[in-house]
Structure 1
């Protein structure tokens, strides 16, 4: 499978994107975004409202084809659930850490689904 497009959402993606290629050139080649991959930048929905009009039209997720009504901020909402586990994850080997984080988010997502179904 080949990755063709990456969408990066960041609170200040409108500014941050300008020097990304230069910063990436200092990384190991396996960590760099391949030249054939198209990168789109967006400001998450909760943050873009505080940006100027041009930024809102150029970087709002709602105007990027294929993104629909994506929020882009959802990961930040889960930090309160993950912060308390940081010290535990620090002690784990990478495979165990990956499994623990995956398990934690699976439980978090299931909790959201159950709450949504009750509405």
Structure 2
């Protein structure tokens, strides 16, 4: 299904932070998945439905697009804040990339009210323009949110990595769900 959709990763106009640099360089050396990604509600610190997914080669935009779209197919809030450590880069051609995806994955009315921000801990690694444009501190509708909810959850779930690494794909998928 995605054979025709996989885009070239865009060049970063921000600092060379690890997520951007490693997005194309991580190799699994025979592994089906090189990691796991998730979409987490920052207000409630809960994983969204259908959001925990495998990464095939680091944090590629294709993976992150799919994670976000998958979790929004069931329920798209009227206002959406996307907090991602490389939101300054990832958001740039988001709608151009997803226009090629199957209509089933494209939530209606998605473009209306999306605010892209960089979590507070990750923001100092960005250039000044990103720090101004993608700061939680300068944004309405987010209160004192820090945007780091996805990071906090990994401390509890990282222990699953060793056991899921050796599972077959079906058992791994069931565990991640």
Q: TM-score range by the shorter chain?
A: 0.5 to 0.7
Map Cα deviations across residues 55-98 of structure 1 (whole Å, 9 max, x no partner). 1121101211110211112321221321222417x61675x754
Flag structure 2 segments of 5+ consecutive residues without an equivalent: 1-74
Question: Which structure has the larger Rg over C-alpha atoms?
Answer: 1
- Tell me, yes or no, if structure 1 residue 26 matches structure 2 residue 112: no
- Residue 139 of structure 2 corresponds to which residue in structure 1? 64
User: 1:35, CA displacement in angstroms?
Assistant: 3.4
**Structural mapping, 1:8-19, within 5 Å:** 8-19=82-93
- Residue 117 of structure 2 corresponds to which residue in structure 1? 42
Q: Comparing 4-13 with 22-31, which one deviates more in the overlay?
A: 22-31
Structure with the higher helix share, 1 or 2:
1
Which structure 1 residue ranges, 4+ long, deviate > 6 Å from structure 2?
A: none
User: 1:12, CA displacement in angstroms?
Assistant: 1.3
Map Cα deviations across residues 24-62 of structure 1 (whole Å, 9 max, x no partner). 112222322423532110011011122222211211012
- Residue 149 of structure 2 corresponds to which residue in structure 1? 74
Q: Comparing 72-81 with 15-24, which one deviates more in the overlay?
A: 72-81
Q: Comparing 55-64 with 74-83, which one deviates more in the overlay?
A: 74-83
Question: What is the DSSP-based 3-state SS (H/G/I as helix, E as strand, rest coil) of the residue aligned with 1:45?
Answer: coil
Question: What is the DSSP-based 3-state SS (H/G/I as helix, E as strand, rest coil) of the residue aligned with 2:146?
Answer: coil
Change (3 A) 1:77 1:97: closer
Question: What is the DSSP-based 3-state SS (H/G/I as helix, E as strand, rest coil) of the residue aligned with 1:67?
Answer: coil
